[in-house]
Structure 1
Amino acid sequence: MPIGVLIGFDGSPAATAAVEVGGQLLPQAHAWVTHLWTPPFASEPLRRRLRASVGSATELVERTESEGEREAQRVAATGTTLARAAGLDAEPLVKRSWGGEGLVLAQLAEQVSADLVLVGSRGLGGAQAFLGSVSDTAVQYASRPTLVAPAPMLADEYDALADGPVIVGWDGSGGARTALTAAQRLFPAREILAVSIGQGITEALPEGVAGEHVDAPPGAKEHTVADALVGLAALRRAAVVAVGSRGQSAMRQVLLGSVARATLRAAHRPVLVVPGP
């Protein structure tokens, strides 16, 4: 059965890049290309046209509704065309929402039984949305793994999508084990490399999983752990960095707000954040 991925799409360059990332990492997956139709329910150029052509406030509201819905459908259709060109089995999905786009994406992923949520790190919900809003909220609330595609990516980072390994942050915690299992399920043809950072990690890896250790000073902070993961990912030409949203850092501190968040902000490669057990 193919992987099912719900892709947040708003027509921005970052969202377009996320579609391309999905096509490279999840060939022939089924994709719901999802556009959230949010207030003011029409783009600024469309609203300017309507304001200049209608005769009353009531007519403006009605035309904004009808024309805005058509506009939203066109955006979703454009994303679907791009996804199909990237090799995905894609269908459009438009959802009217009054805000909280990241939470809505997380809820939609449950409704369609998606295996994965894919979002760009910038651009969802309009030009003012940055990592820390839509992408961050999706990561926080999704019950499915969330893949965050950074933008822009350089040529060598794009090239690594084709056959690069998946780096999984490993500390032996339940969160790390869940992240490892998700990486193996979502990317079955990829090499999986579990990477531990710093001192005090004694839990053995599951049988058959390759591991690597990177030294770090005692008491290494979350940004140090994240930078080490990101640096090793660049060295190994990784396609994806995977982390658990709950687990322990090298200091044995509970995270998402620490290593997973720091990795999202430091990485220039797609980051898979997997909710904990």
Structure 2
Amino acid sequence: MSDPVVVGVDGSPSSLAAVEVAAREAVLRRVGLRTVHAFGSPSIRLPGGGPPWSPAQAGVRELVDGTLDRAEQRAREVAPHLDVTREVTVGDPLTVLEIESRTASLVVVGSRGLGAFGSLLLGSTAVHLAAHGRCPVLVVRGREDPSGPVLLAVDGSPAGGPAVAFAFAEASLRGADLVALLVWNTWSEPAHDGPETALDVIVNVERLRQEEQRLLDETLDPWQRRRPEVTVERRLVRSRVRPALLEAGGEAQLVVAGARGRGGFKGLLLGSVSQALLHHAPCPVAVVRG
């Protein structure tokens, strides 16, 4: 059997919304759904030197069962015949879901869980998984519009190749169009409309545009041949990267990005553009590591 879709469940409204999305993704992939609940931490000890977690104590078993029952019910509302399994384990949710990602085709999490501080827009679990997960990570946030296109953030870097493959596959599975957006500027932020700047005079802007167009075409052409069923709109936009992607995400049902782009500092696991999308995108975001 193919690797399942894994969804992190903590009982929060955000995680239950993630269960619905994960169930649909599992149906599209024709795989099972595994709901995962991580309880506490292995270092926690109950009073009296008890074991790290005893389901019979303090109503924990009922609490966990109730959380997973609600998650499974939500999944079956979306896909009544879906094969749903449960995984309950002791440990830090970040570590547990990272381990689960090693045997999953996709990990789905909500943008905020019960452990997130109220002032944070994005839970630590989602950020950590996007940086460390061993498979694509889909963070459910914003509004969900199944009629919109899949938006691919093209950066042309070798590390971005898996994100391109994922975006084409996802568009094919969903029967959606693919908008491939490459944002460029004259190497200074912010790029803007208006009279020529000194940099515009020094730099051959048209030559730069042609180079970026070539990069966009070279990135997409091989996958366009492999996935002829996917209708692709190629967009080359001169702008600042993050605002352009966030604006384009307003019409998308999903944004797909690599973990790091051409401008990433060596050693960073998650680039600034990916983090901006995870925090502010108006729709779900999939981060695909190289």
Shorter-chain TM range is 0.7 to 0.9
Whether contact under 8 Å (1:26, 1:187) holds in the other structure is no
- Tell me by how many angstroms 1:97 deviates: 2.6
Q: What amino acid sits opposite 2:149 in the alignment?
A: P
Q: Mark the CA change 1:187 to 1:115 in structure 2 (over 3 Å): closer, same or farther.
A: farther
Q: What amino acid sits opposite 1:94 in the alignment?
A: E
3-state SS in 2 of match to 1:72: helix
Give the distance between the partners of 2:154 and 2:26, measured in 1 at CA: 23
Match of 1:75 in 2: 67
Match of 1:273 in 2: 287
Q: Does 1:195 align with 2:181?
A: yes
- Please give the residue correspondences for 1:132-211 in structure 2 after superposition, counting only pairs within 5 Å: 132-150=123-141, 153=142, 157-158=143-144, 160=145, 162-188=146-172, 189-199=175-185, 200=208, 201=212, 202-203=214-215, 204=217, 205-207=219-221, 208=224, 209-211=232-234
Consecutive unaligned residues of structure 1, counting only runs of 5 or more, are 42-56, 217-223
Whether contact under 8 Å (1:37, 1:69) holds in the other structure is no
3-state SS in 2 of match to 1:164: coil
Match of 2:9 in 1: 9
Give the distance between the partners of 1:257 and 1:229, measured in 2 at CA: 14
- Tell me by how many angstroms 1:105 deviates: 0.4
Alignment counterpart, residue 227 of structure 1, candidates 237, 243, 252: 243
Alpha-carbon displacement from aligned partner over 1:121-157 (angstroms, at most 9, x marks no partner): 1015x3548525111111111110000011xx3xxx3
Alignment counterpart, residue 35 of structure 1, candidates 37, 41, 49: 37
- Tell me by how many angstroms 1:248 deviates: 1.3
Query: CA RMSD, aligned part only?
Result: 3.1
Consecutive unaligned residues of structure 2, counting only runs of 5 or more, are 186-207, 225-231
Give the distance between the partners of 2:116 and 2:247, measured in 1 at CA: 29
Give the distance between the partners of 1:115 and 1:79, measured in 2 at CA: 19
- Tell me by how many angstroms 1:26 deviates: 5.3
- Tell me by how many angstroms 1:9 deviates: 0.9
Whether contact under 8 Å (1:33, 1:90) holds in the other structure is no
Whether contact under 8 Å (2:5, 2:104) holds in the other structure is yes
Q: What amino acid sits opposite 2:277 in the alignment?
A: T
Give the distance between the partners of 2:40 and 2:166, measured in 1 at CA: 32
Give the distance between the partners of 2:76 and 2:36, measured in 1 at CA: 14
Give the distance between the partners of 1:177 and 1:127, measured in 2 at CA: 32
Alpha-carbon displacement from aligned partner over 1:29-71 (angstroms, at most 9, x marks no partner): 5211111122599xxxxxxxxxxxxxxx559989964131342
- Tell me by how many angstroms 1:117 deviates: 0.5
Q: Mark the CA change 1:198 to 1:69 in structure 2 (over 3 Å): closer, same or farther.
A: same
TM-score by length of 2: 0.72
Q: Does 1:98 align with 2:112?
A: no
Give the distance between the partners of 1:63 and 1:118, measured in 2 at CA: 26
Match of 2:197 in 1: none
Alignment counterpart, residue 113 of structure 2, candidates 116, 120, 123: 123
Q: Which runs of 4+ in 1 moved over 6 A?
A: 59-63
- Tell me by how many angstroms 1:22 deviates: 3.0
3-state SS in 1 of match to 2:220: coil
Give the distance between the partners of 2:49 and 2:265, measured in 1 at CA: 57
Alpha-carbon displacement from aligned partner over 1:12-32 (angstroms, at most 9, x marks no partner): 111111123334555455211
3-state SS in 1 of match to 2:138: strand
Whether contact under 8 Å (1:83, 1:90) holds in the other structure is no
TM-score by length of 1: 0.75
Whether contact under 8 Å (1:106, 1:117) holds in the other structure is no
- Count of matched residue pairs: 241
Match of 2:252 in 1: 238
